[in-house]
Chain A
Amino acid sequence: MAVTGALVTGGILLVLVGANPVDAYVEMVKGTFGSWFDVSLVLTEMVPLVIIGLGLVIAFKARIWNIGAEGQFMFGALVGGAFALRVPLQNQFLAIPAVLLVGALAGALWGLLVAAARVRWRVNEVISSLLLNYVALFVFAYAVRKPLRDPGGFKPTSERVPDQFVLGDVPVDEIRVHVGIVVALLLVPLVGFLVNRSPFGMRATMFGMNPEAAQAAGVNASKMTLRIMMLSGALAGLAGIIQVLGSELRLSNNMSTGYGFTAIVVALIARLRPFGVLLAAAFLGALTLGGDVIQRTQQVPRVLTMVIQAIFVLFLLLADRRRSN
């Protein structure tokens, strides 16, 4: 119902701007699943959405509203990227795990700030995490303008990361996707286990449903908040550094097209189920690329797809309400 509702609304908007909605949707499907090349693009787009989305599922399950994934993503990319550019590790098998760890830790640190403020001073995490996004963006902008700037470059970006840090493509003939997709696919069952099967996940869910009851049952609220925000931030940071090493190959201000926010939609559409994240990310990844296609072929602004995403979430809220009544 929510899918239909969002697509119909999108269709009405298409008519309003003078495009043929049927043509537009057909073009979108053809442009995203029509060839192996297009499928590769969708898969590449999915990588950051899946990884960040999983982190948000962990947080949202505990009803900790982390909307700072964008900042955690950028900070992970920045610190991980700086590590790759400045630390001369030659051995690939050492370099890549090390840099991924650094990126994840940076994201965790950015998430920890939010959790610490909530635990220590009861600062609402929605506001602190959102405001920290701006801080991360400005720190990033300074870093690529000055200390990490490629002196030969015209725009403020860093130099290309050294070869031994670059994530190669998966060894499948038709598909050109960097191995970040493997990390994303492995994380799905891992987070699934953590959330649904582990004692930690049970406590987190209980904490989300009723914090007082959970505390009465022995859940330490502070420890829980800190762990969850660090985990959520670590996954966003990991997504950031993977995006640098697999797709961008250098640090640039516009390396994120708002993945941290799209991932919120991913987590909500997935109804906070880790395996659902995979489907939701595929849907939104295809929708984003479909937006590029209709911008080219139908002269419709690509941001239409983001309108559809937001409407989708609202319809989903309505559908869930019907179900619970």
Chain B
Amino acid sequence: MDWSDVFGGAALIPLLNAAIRLAIPTGLAAVGESFCQKSGVLNLSVEGMMLTGALTAYLGAYYSGSLWVGVPAGIGGGLLVGVLMALFTLKFKTEQVINGIALVLLAQAATSFTFEELFGDLTLTGRFEPMKNWEIPGLSSIPGVGTVLFNQSPLVYLSVVLIFAIWYLLNRTMFGLAVKAVGDRPAAADAAGISVTRTRWVAILVSGAMSGLGGVVLVVGQLGMFMQNVTAGRGWVAIALVIFGRWKPLRVMAGALLFGLTDAIQLRIQAASGGIESNVPFELFQAMPYLVTIAVVVFASARARRSGEPEALGRPFFKGAQIEA
């Protein structure tokens, strides 16, 4: 195979452009999840939120004939799983690790079921042209940087705005303060008049909407099709990136860019390696995004102090039932 197809000068700018594109779906989900975890809820249903969002976005765009209909449809799909997650975690107060995993299993089965029922056993039916890139006039003609940053799908620009909005919401508003208080000292926050349950409801729904939008970007912005388990573990990668980014939205997004770059490189290696008879072990490169994610989680977890981790993460709150130290 020709390695200059992967790392050569001419390939570099498209590579970085692809890295950003591939980083966005996971990044959206990861930033949403960091917000959710800040409120003390360990939401493991991200993969299910993304996958459901991907399917509803596909259906919305496919049946309406307009890609933009896919956007609210996909966000709605993510919110649907979010509502279930919130009901079980906050209202029924079941073990959140288990109901998170169960919701992923449910979403995987239910999306496959719906898709097969509507489109039959075929995996490649109903392709449509994904959303065209918007070249920002002026900026996109800057050599190098312009093509990388300002020749992207409009969904990418929207995503970047939302990611900064989440950062702003968490760090510069009263509500963000409430989220952090509820995640660290729920009993104290409750005593101060903040509703723990309501704050956590909103946080889970934010995660649902962001993950659903991640599914939208994947399907409407990139692939133009749906297939079973199209998200391929990106939701789990997103949870890993939250740890890597120490619950700080912008650091989490930086982790997503690293993941996107790895993904872009491995896709190129696969394309350049030449198919099933190739001697290049391209499967090992396919495993690379997951291996890199594991590596960064190990790296982040190994630092002695886990600063940023909400102290009440994963613990249910029973009003009036516990006094915390």
Contact = CB atoms under 8 A, between A and B. Distances in A.
A95 interface: no
Interface string B97-111: 111011101101110
A5 B113 CA distance: 19
Nearest to B109: A306
Interface stretch (A39-47, A72-80, A132-140): A132-140
Contacts of B192: none
Contacts of A303: 109, 112-113, 116
B93 A310 contact: no
Contacts of B236: 127, 130-131
Interface residues of A, number: 45
A126 B44 CA distance: 9
Given A131-B236, A317-B98, A138 B112 contact: no
A142 B283 contact: yes
Interface in A144-162: 145-146, 156
B66 interface: no
Nearest to B94: A317
Nearest to B314: A124
Interface stretch (B67-75, B213-221, B289-297): B289-297
Given A301-B116, A306-B105, A123 B287 contact: no
A122 B302 CA distance: 7
B233 A142 contact: no
Contacts of B116: 301, 303
Contacts of A264: 101, 105
B243 A128 contact: no
B291 A310 contact: no
Contact of B105 (A128, A313, A321): A313
B113 A304 contact: yes
Interface of B is mostly: helix
A307 B106 CA distance: 6
B319 interface: no
Contacts of A133: 233
B15 interface: no
A208 to B, nearest CB: 12
A268 B99 CA distance: 11
Nearest to A140: B283
B95 interface: yes
B222 interface: no
Contacts of B283: 138-139, 141-142, 145
B233 A130 contact: yes
A121 B281 CA distance: 30
A67 B97 CA distance: 11
A159 B40 CA distance: 51
B109 A307 contact: yes
Contact of B284 (A142, A307, A313): A142
A156 B306 contact: no
A14 B298 CA distance: 45
B240 A127 contact: yes
A24 interface: no
B286 interface: yes
A265 interface: yes
Contacts of A121: 298, 301-302
A131 B237 contact: yes
Contact of A313 (B92, B98, B110): B98
B279 A146 contact: yes
A169 interface: no
A86 B294 CA distance: 31
Contacts of A300: 117
Contacts of A123: 297-298, 301
A94 interface: no
Contacts of B108: 306
Interface string B11-53: 0000000000000000000000000000000001000000000
A283 interface: no
Given A264-B101, A317-B99, A131 B113 contact: no
Interface string A113-129: 00001001111101110
Contacts of B276: 145, 156
Nearest to B289: A134
B239 interface: yes
A317 B105 contact: no
Contacts of A146: 279, 281
A132 B98 contact: no
A301 B112 CA distance: 9
A126 B294 CA distance: 12
Contacts of A213: none
B233 A134 contact: yes
B88 interface: yes
Interface of A: 13, 17, 65, 67, 117, 120-124, 126-128, 130-135, 138-139, 141-142, 145-146, 156, 261, 264-265, 268, 300-301, 303-304, 306-307, 309-311, 313-314, 317-318, 320-321
11 contacts: A121-B298, A127-B243, A130-B236, A132-B290, A142-B284, A301-B117, A303-B113, A306-B109, A310-B103, A310-B106, A317-B98
Given A121-B301, A307-B106, A311-B106, 8 more contacts: A124-B301, A126-B44, A132-B290, A268-B102, A306-B109, A313-B102, A318-B92, A321-B92
Question: Top 5 nearest A-B pairs by Cβ distance?
Answer: A310-B106, A306-B109, A142-B283, A138-B287, A301-B116
